Amino acid sequence: MSAPSPLGIFERYLSLWIAMGMMGGVGLGVLFPALFQGIAALEYAHVNLVVAVLIWAMIYPMMVGVDFSCIKDVGRKPKGLCITLMVNWLIKPLTMTALGLLFFEHLFADWVSAESAQEYIAGMILLGVAPCTAMVFVWSQMVKGDATYTLVQVSVNDLIMVVAFAPLVALLLGVTDVVVPWETLLLSVALYVLIPLLAGAATRHHLHRHQGIEATHHFITRCKPYAMLGLLWMVVLLFGLQAQTLLDQPVVIALIAIPLLIQSYGIFFIAYGWAYMWRVPFNVAAPAALIGTSNFFELAVAVAISLFGLHSGAALATVVGVLVEVPVMLSLVALSKRTAHHFTPS
């Protein structure tokens, strides 16, 4: 993979665009509730078609950039990948489930109904089991991470996600009283992970074969504005659909945000501290910790909507995850830069 390009205007002012999307979504949701109700009705087999299109717009260009041939080089620097995989597929799902149960079945039990509590926990679990993919490259660029190694981490995570996401979600949702509709869950994984992954691999192979590697980078660059628009419109849609709830129940939003914040900062310090003790170079250590902290919220949102509905507590929890994600990640990027001198050079 070529050296990362300078951050574009979207990445540079990411927090501003996301904030504008959130506020715009809430405003439109209040002004035009019928419009969002109509969008909510556009579904097939419990999969919302508009959400599907927006997620494909975001994920497909990123999947084209995934180079699975990089995986063969992972043996040269196994520590960073080991940290990422252990955090993403063992520590993070379990701690998110534990925090959900602790807060909504015990600490916050008097403030939310039992049914809502189960849905909030389910939404948190979906966030915890969906490791970050699309935004990883942004966070890695911001800390001047090793671009090739970040690509390896993303590639391996995507391969694992294809086979592990659905079983792990089903296992952890079984901890709650939620009944898992396997058909819908597997359909969601196929739609939002497997199909984009295969389409991206096929596109990358075609471009490499007929036009060369530079054509792939050019193709991704051309698609990037559409991916960014997909992300912004997804934020607008999610906050528009939940507009009234966000305005009517600010306390619930705060209650959901508390364990999500604890989870995010806790996971980062586990991964970052682990990397420090293992003497992992900073340009691998920082991306590894940020990858473990961030969530593939697009997938979590899509599956929450498919399993529980657009206006469910689970969908709301994943939307709060979007609300929390960007400011938290930007603060951790800043912290990483300030502490870079403590790590061994690459």
Q: Enter the tokens of residue 129.
A: 């089991």
8: pLDDT strictly greater than 70: no
N-terminal to C-terminal alpha carbon distance within the chain: 17
Measured distance CA(84)–CA(227) in Å, rounded: 25
pLDDT of residue 44: 74
For a pLDDT cut of 70, what percent of the chain falls above it? 89
Query: Is residue 303 in some structural domain?
Result: yes
CATH code of the domain covering residue 34:
1.20.1530.20
Tokens standing for residue 126: 């979906």
pLDDT of 83 over the 80 cut? yes
The answer as to whether 5 is a domain residue is no
Tell me if 314 is assigned to some domain: yes
CA distance 331 to 326: 9
CA distance 259 to 13: 27
pTM: 0.79
Predicted confidence (pLDDT) at residue 244 exceeds the cutoff of 50:
yes
Domain extent for 281: 12-339
Lowest-pLDDT choice from 8-22, 64-78, 96-110 = 64-78
Q: For residue 7, tell me if it sits in a domain.
A: no
346 falls within a domain: no
Q: Is 75's pLDDT higher than 70?
A: no
Q: How confident is the model at residue 128 (pLDDT cuts 50, 70, 90)?
A: very high
> What are residue 136's DSSP bridge partners?
none
- Asked if the structure places residue 6 within a domain, the reply is no
Is the distance from CB of 343 to CB of 281 less than 8 angstroms?
A: yes
Residue 62: partners with Cβ closer than 8 Å, 6 or more residues away: 133, 134, 137, 200, 227
> What pLDDT is stored for residue 111 in this prediction?
93
Q: Where are the alpha helices (DSSP H) in the chain?
A: 9-12, 14-31, 33-41, 49-64, 78-86, 92-102, 114-129, 136-142, 147-173, 182-189, 195-210, 213-241, 243-248, 250-277, 282-293, 297-308, 313-339
Predicted local confidence at residue 132, as pLDDT = 76
Contact 280, 41 (CB under 8 A): no
Residue 240, classed as helix, strand or coil, is helix
Which of 121, 132, 193 minimizes the C-alpha distance to 164?
193
Asked if the structure places residue 3 within a domain, the reply is no
344: in domain: no
pLDDT in tens, 95-124: 999 999 999 999 999 999 999 999 999 999
Look at the chain and report how many structural domains it folds into: 1
> What is the percentage of the chain residues whose pLDDT exceeds 90?
36
Report, as an integer, the average pLDDT of 327-339. 92
Sorted by sequence, the CB contacts under 8 Å of residue 283 that are 6+ apart come out as 143, 144, 145, 146, 149, 346
Q: Does the pLDDT value for residue 3 go beyond 60?
A: no
User: Does position 199 have pLDDT exceeding 80, yes or no?
Assistant: yes
Distance CA 3, CA 200 (A): 21
- Nearest-angstrom CA–CA distance, 17 and 232: 7
Q: How many CB atoms lie within 10 A of CB 106?
A: 10
Of 58-72, 137-151, 255-269, 287-301, the range with the lowest mean pLDDT is 58-72
